[in-house]
Amino acid sequence: MRLGAVIITMGNRPEELRDLLDSVAKQRGPRIEVAVVGNGSPLPELADGVRTVELPENLGIPGGRNIGIEAFGPGGSDVDVLLFLDDDGLLPNEDTGELLREAFAADPRLGIVSFRIADPETGTTQRRHVPRLRASDPLRSSRVTTFLGGANAVRTAVFQQVGLLPDEFFYAHEETDLAWRALDGGWMIDYRSDMVLHHPATAPSRHAVYHRMVARNRVWLARRNLPWPLVPAYLGTWMALTLLRRPSRPALKAWFGGFREGWTTPCGPRRTMKWRTVWRLTRLGRPPII
Protein backbone atom coordinates (compact mmCIF):
# COMPACT_ATOMS: atom_id res chain seq x y z
CA MET A 1 0.00 0.00 0.00
CA ARG A 2 1.97 2.99 -1.32
CA LEU A 3 1.27 6.28 0.48
CA GLY A 4 1.89 9.82 -0.73
CA ALA A 5 1.17 13.20 0.84
CA VAL A 6 0.10 16.49 -0.77
CA ILE A 7 0.76 19.77 1.03
CA ILE A 8 -0.07 23.18 -0.41
CA THR A 9 1.48 26.33 1.01
CA MET A 10 1.49 30.06 0.34
CA GLY A 11 5.03 30.36 1.65
CA ASN A 12 4.10 32.15 4.87
CA ARG A 13 4.64 29.23 7.29
CA PRO A 14 8.13 27.86 6.53
CA GLU A 15 8.82 26.64 10.07
CA GLU A 16 5.44 24.94 10.43
CA LEU A 17 5.90 23.36 7.00
CA ARG A 18 9.27 21.87 7.96
CA ASP A 19 7.81 20.52 11.21
CA LEU A 20 4.97 18.90 9.27
CA LEU A 21 7.39 17.33 6.78
CA ASP A 22 9.46 16.00 9.68
CA SER A 23 6.35 14.41 11.20
CA VAL A 24 5.53 12.74 7.88
CA ALA A 25 9.11 11.46 7.55
CA LYS A 26 8.91 9.90 11.04
CA GLN A 27 5.94 7.70 10.14
CA ARG A 28 6.66 4.01 10.64
CA GLY A 29 6.72 1.64 7.70
CA PRO A 30 7.63 2.36 4.07
CA ARG A 31 8.54 5.95 3.26
CA ILE A 32 5.66 8.28 2.43
CA GLU A 33 6.38 10.22 -0.76
CA VAL A 34 5.63 13.95 -0.45
CA ALA A 35 4.64 16.66 -2.94
CA VAL A 36 4.66 20.31 -1.82
CA VAL A 37 2.87 22.88 -3.98
CA GLY A 38 3.76 26.57 -3.71
CA ASN A 39 0.31 28.05 -4.38
CA GLY A 40 1.31 31.34 -5.99
CA SER A 41 4.52 31.58 -3.97
CA PRO A 42 8.12 30.30 -4.06
CA LEU A 43 8.99 27.39 -1.79
CA PRO A 44 11.61 27.41 0.94
CA GLU A 45 14.48 24.97 0.74
CA LEU A 46 13.13 21.48 1.42
CA ALA A 47 14.62 18.06 2.07
CA ASP A 48 15.89 15.96 -0.81
CA GLY A 49 13.27 13.67 -2.33
CA VAL A 50 10.32 16.04 -1.85
CA ARG A 51 8.45 16.64 -5.11
CA THR A 52 7.93 20.37 -5.56
CA VAL A 53 5.73 22.54 -7.77
CA GLU A 54 5.77 26.34 -7.73
CA LEU A 55 2.66 27.92 -9.25
CA PRO A 56 2.82 31.50 -10.61
CA GLU A 57 -0.61 32.28 -9.11
CA ASN A 58 -2.82 31.06 -6.28
CA LEU A 59 -5.22 28.49 -7.74
CA GLY A 60 -7.14 28.12 -4.48
CA ILE A 61 -7.28 25.09 -2.23
CA PRO A 62 -8.81 22.55 -4.64
CA GLY A 63 -6.77 23.83 -7.59
CA GLY A 64 -3.52 23.61 -5.63
CA ARG A 65 -4.33 20.15 -4.31
CA ASN A 66 -5.20 18.93 -7.79
CA ILE A 67 -1.75 20.01 -8.98
CA GLY A 68 -0.31 18.03 -6.06
CA ILE A 69 -2.31 14.96 -7.06
CA GLU A 70 -1.00 15.16 -10.61
CA ALA A 71 2.56 15.37 -9.24
CA PHE A 72 2.04 11.66 -8.47
CA GLY A 73 1.00 10.84 -12.03
CA PRO A 74 -2.47 11.04 -13.65
CA GLY A 75 -5.02 10.84 -10.85
CA GLY A 76 -2.19 10.16 -8.39
CA SER A 77 -1.52 6.79 -10.02
CA ASP A 78 2.06 6.51 -8.68
CA VAL A 79 0.63 5.72 -5.22
CA ASP A 80 -2.41 3.94 -3.76
CA VAL A 81 -3.44 6.53 -1.16
CA LEU A 82 -2.79 10.27 -0.86
CA LEU A 83 -2.80 12.20 2.41
CA PHE A 84 -3.84 15.87 2.28
CA LEU A 85 -2.39 17.89 5.15
CA ASP A 86 -2.59 21.59 6.05
CA ASP A 87 0.84 23.22 6.06
CA ASP A 88 0.41 24.39 9.68
CA GLY A 89 -0.60 20.92 10.84
CA LEU A 90 1.47 18.15 12.40
CA LEU A 91 1.13 14.38 12.74
CA PRO A 92 1.85 13.84 16.47
CA ASN A 93 1.74 10.04 16.30
CA GLU A 94 4.18 7.92 14.31
CA ASP A 95 1.71 5.14 13.51
CA THR A 96 -0.77 7.12 11.38
CA GLY A 97 0.71 5.81 8.13
CA GLU A 98 0.51 2.22 9.33
CA LEU A 99 -3.08 2.69 10.53
CA LEU A 100 -4.00 4.02 7.09
CA ARG A 101 -2.40 1.07 5.31
CA GLU A 102 -4.31 -1.33 7.55
CA ALA A 103 -7.63 0.51 7.09
CA PHE A 104 -7.48 0.70 3.31
CA ALA A 105 -6.18 -2.86 2.95
CA ALA A 106 -8.93 -4.25 5.18
CA ASP A 107 -11.81 -2.57 3.34
CA PRO A 108 -11.56 -2.38 -0.47
CA ARG A 109 -14.61 -0.07 -0.64
CA LEU A 110 -13.11 2.45 1.79
CA GLY A 111 -12.39 5.50 -0.33
CA ILE A 112 -11.67 8.35 2.11
CA VAL A 113 -10.52 8.65 5.72
CA SER A 114 -11.04 11.87 7.68
CA PHE A 115 -8.63 12.47 10.57
CA ARG A 116 -9.42 13.99 13.95
CA ILE A 117 -8.08 17.55 14.25
CA ALA A 118 -6.91 18.48 17.73
CA ASP A 119 -5.50 21.73 19.08
CA PRO A 120 -1.85 21.07 20.05
CA GLU A 121 -2.13 23.14 23.25
CA THR A 122 -5.42 21.87 24.68
CA GLY A 123 -6.07 18.64 22.78
CA THR A 124 -9.57 19.94 22.05
CA THR A 125 -11.37 19.03 18.83
CA GLN A 126 -13.71 21.77 17.59
CA ARG A 127 -17.26 20.59 16.93
CA ARG A 128 -17.07 21.76 13.30
CA HIS A 129 -14.13 19.40 12.78
CA VAL A 130 -16.24 16.30 13.43
CA PRO A 131 -17.80 15.61 10.01
CA ARG A 132 -21.22 14.41 11.14
CA LEU A 133 -24.34 15.86 12.76
CA ARG A 134 -23.86 14.00 16.06
CA ALA A 135 -20.56 15.71 16.83
CA SER A 136 -20.58 15.86 20.63
CA ASP A 137 -18.10 12.97 20.99
CA PRO A 138 -15.05 13.57 18.76
CA LEU A 139 -13.38 10.40 20.10
CA ARG A 140 -16.02 8.17 18.46
CA SER A 141 -15.05 6.89 15.03
CA SER A 142 -17.82 6.27 12.51
CA ARG A 143 -18.91 6.13 8.90
CA VAL A 144 -19.59 9.65 7.65
CA THR A 145 -20.73 11.49 4.52
CA THR A 146 -18.01 14.13 4.18
CA PHE A 147 -14.45 14.79 5.37
CA LEU A 148 -12.00 17.49 6.47
CA GLY A 149 -10.01 19.04 3.64
CA GLY A 150 -6.64 19.50 5.37
CA ALA A 151 -6.60 16.28 7.38
CA ASN A 152 -7.57 13.29 5.30
CA ALA A 153 -6.44 10.44 3.08
CA VAL A 154 -8.02 9.45 -0.24
CA ARG A 155 -7.59 6.24 -2.20
CA THR A 156 -6.33 7.38 -5.61
CA ALA A 157 -8.77 4.99 -7.32
CA VAL A 158 -11.48 7.44 -6.17
CA PHE A 159 -9.96 10.26 -8.23
CA GLN A 160 -9.53 7.96 -11.19
CA GLN A 161 -13.21 6.97 -11.04
CA VAL A 162 -15.05 10.18 -10.13
CA GLY A 163 -12.54 12.95 -10.95
CA LEU A 164 -10.49 15.44 -8.96
CA LEU A 165 -11.54 18.25 -6.66
CA PRO A 166 -13.58 21.07 -8.28
CA ASP A 167 -11.02 23.74 -9.27
CA GLU A 168 -13.66 26.43 -9.69
CA PHE A 169 -14.67 26.31 -5.99
CA PHE A 170 -11.32 27.93 -4.95
CA TYR A 171 -12.26 27.68 -1.26
CA ALA A 172 -15.12 26.02 0.69
CA HIS A 173 -17.21 22.89 0.14
CA GLU A 174 -14.83 21.24 -2.34
CA GLU A 175 -14.56 18.27 0.06
CA THR A 176 -18.32 17.73 0.15
CA ASP A 177 -18.47 17.86 -3.64
CA LEU A 178 -15.86 15.08 -3.88
CA ALA A 179 -17.48 13.15 -1.01
CA TRP A 180 -20.89 13.11 -2.69
CA ARG A 181 -19.37 11.95 -5.98
CA ALA A 182 -17.37 9.26 -4.19
CA LEU A 183 -20.42 7.99 -2.29
CA ASP A 184 -22.39 7.98 -5.54
CA GLY A 185 -19.59 5.86 -7.03
CA GLY A 186 -19.98 3.26 -4.29
CA TRP A 187 -17.11 4.31 -1.99
CA MET A 188 -17.26 4.66 1.81
CA ILE A 189 -15.92 7.46 4.05
CA ASP A 190 -14.70 6.93 7.61
CA TYR A 191 -13.97 9.40 10.41
CA ARG A 192 -11.11 7.97 12.48
CA SER A 193 -10.51 9.54 15.87
CA ASP A 194 -7.25 7.61 16.32
CA MET A 195 -5.65 9.31 13.31
CA VAL A 196 -4.81 12.76 14.62
CA LEU A 197 -3.58 15.97 13.04
CA HIS A 198 -2.47 18.70 15.43
CA HIS A 199 -3.69 22.07 14.17
CA PRO A 200 -4.21 25.38 16.01
CA ALA A 201 -7.87 26.12 16.77
CA THR A 202 -9.14 28.71 14.29
CA ALA A 203 -12.39 30.20 12.97
CA PRO A 204 -13.18 29.69 9.26
CA SER A 205 -14.48 33.27 9.06
CA ARG A 206 -10.86 34.49 9.40
CA HIS A 207 -10.72 34.32 5.60
CA ALA A 208 -11.92 37.55 3.97
CA VAL A 209 -13.79 35.64 1.24
CA TYR A 210 -15.45 33.22 3.66
CA HIS A 211 -19.09 34.38 3.60
CA ARG A 212 -19.25 34.96 -0.17
CA MET A 213 -17.60 31.69 -1.17
CA VAL A 214 -19.46 29.59 1.38
CA ALA A 215 -22.76 30.81 -0.09
CA ARG A 216 -21.69 30.66 -3.75
CA ASN A 217 -20.20 27.19 -3.46
CA ARG A 218 -23.21 25.90 -1.51
CA VAL A 219 -25.38 26.77 -4.53
CA TRP A 220 -22.82 25.25 -6.92
CA LEU A 221 -22.72 22.09 -4.82
CA ALA A 222 -26.48 21.69 -5.12
CA ARG A 223 -26.56 22.55 -8.84
CA ARG A 224 -23.78 20.08 -9.61
CA ASN A 225 -24.92 17.10 -7.55
CA LEU A 226 -28.46 17.07 -6.18
CA PRO A 227 -31.65 15.87 -7.90
CA TRP A 228 -33.64 19.01 -8.67
CA PRO A 229 -36.45 18.29 -6.14
CA LEU A 230 -33.85 18.44 -3.32
CA VAL A 231 -32.16 21.67 -4.41
CA PRO A 232 -34.68 24.12 -2.84
CA ALA A 233 -34.86 22.04 0.36
CA TYR A 234 -31.06 21.98 0.71
CA LEU A 235 -30.51 25.66 -0.04
CA GLY A 236 -33.55 26.73 1.98
CA THR A 237 -32.26 24.83 5.03
CA TRP A 238 -28.86 26.53 4.80
CA MET A 239 -30.40 29.96 4.28
CA ALA A 240 -32.47 29.47 7.43
CA LEU A 241 -29.42 28.30 9.40
CA THR A 242 -27.41 31.29 8.21
CA LEU A 243 -30.12 33.72 9.34
CA LEU A 244 -30.48 31.97 12.71
CA ARG A 245 -26.76 32.45 13.33
CA ARG A 246 -27.33 36.22 13.06
CA PRO A 247 -24.19 37.24 11.17
CA SER A 248 -23.18 40.88 10.97
CA ARG A 249 -24.72 43.10 8.30
CA PRO A 250 -21.55 43.10 6.11
CA ALA A 251 -21.27 39.31 6.46
CA LEU A 252 -24.92 38.83 5.52
CA LYS A 253 -24.53 41.14 2.52
CA ALA A 254 -21.52 39.12 1.36
CA TRP A 255 -23.44 35.87 1.91
CA PHE A 256 -26.42 36.96 -0.21
CA GLY A 257 -24.04 38.27 -2.87
CA GLY A 258 -22.38 34.87 -3.01
CA PHE A 259 -25.76 33.11 -3.08
CA ARG A 260 -26.77 35.20 -6.11
CA GLU A 261 -23.40 34.54 -7.74
CA GLY A 262 -23.95 30.81 -7.30
CA TRP A 263 -27.02 30.96 -9.54
CA THR A 264 -25.60 33.32 -12.19
CA THR A 265 -22.15 31.82 -12.82
CA PRO A 266 -21.02 28.47 -14.31
CA CYS A 267 -20.55 25.74 -11.70
CA GLY A 268 -18.93 23.01 -13.78
CA PRO A 269 -20.50 19.78 -15.05
CA ARG A 270 -23.70 18.50 -13.47
CA ARG A 271 -23.58 14.86 -12.35
CA THR A 272 -26.82 14.16 -10.49
CA MET A 273 -26.45 11.67 -7.66
CA LYS A 274 -28.65 8.58 -7.77
CA TRP A 275 -31.67 8.39 -5.49
CA ARG A 276 -30.13 5.33 -3.86
CA THR A 277 -27.20 7.58 -2.89
CA VAL A 278 -29.69 10.01 -1.33
CA TRP A 279 -31.08 7.12 0.71
CA ARG A 280 -27.56 5.99 1.63
CA LEU A 281 -26.70 9.48 2.90
CA THR A 282 -29.91 9.48 4.89
CA ARG A 283 -29.15 6.10 6.49
CA LEU A 284 -25.70 7.42 7.43
CA GLY A 285 -27.41 10.19 9.38
CA ARG A 286 -27.04 13.13 7.02
CA PRO A 287 -29.65 13.39 4.25
CA PRO A 288 -28.47 15.80 1.53
CA ILE A 289 -30.72 18.65 2.65
CA ILE A 290 -28.62 19.36 5.78
pLDDT for res 202: 77
Q: How many CA atoms lie within 13 A of 48 on its CB side?
A: 0
The kind and range of the H/E element at 184 are helix 174-184
User: How many C-beta neighbours within 10 Å does residue 232 have?
Assistant: 13
- Beta carbons of 88 and 197 less than 8 angstroms apart: no
* E strands present in 119-219: 142-143, 151-155, 188-198
CB 42 within 8 A of CB 11: yes
Averaged pLDDT, groups of 10, the chain, 290 residues long: 97 95 98 98 94 97 98 97 97 98 98 97 94 94 97 98 98 97 98 97 70 97 98 97 92 95 97 97 93
The whole model's pTM is what? 0.95
Q: Which domains does the chain have, with CATH numbers?
A: 3-202 (3.90.550.10), 205-283 (no CATH)
CA distances from 172 to 63, 81, 206, 207 (A): 12, 23, 13, 11
On whether the CB atoms of residues 153 and 114 are closer than 8 A, the answer is no
Nearest to 136 by CA among 178, 176, 174, 193: 193
Question: In what helix (H) or strand (E) does residue 214 lie, and over which residues does it extend?
Answer: helix 210-225
Q: What are the DSSP E strand ranges found in the chain?
A: 3-9, 33-39, 51-55, 81-85, 110-118, 142-143, 151-155, 188-198
pLDDT for the residue 126: 94
Residues in the chain, total: 290
Residues 6+ apart with CB under 8 A from 213: 169, 170, 171, 172, 258
Positive or negative CA dihedral for 276, 279, 283, 287?
positive
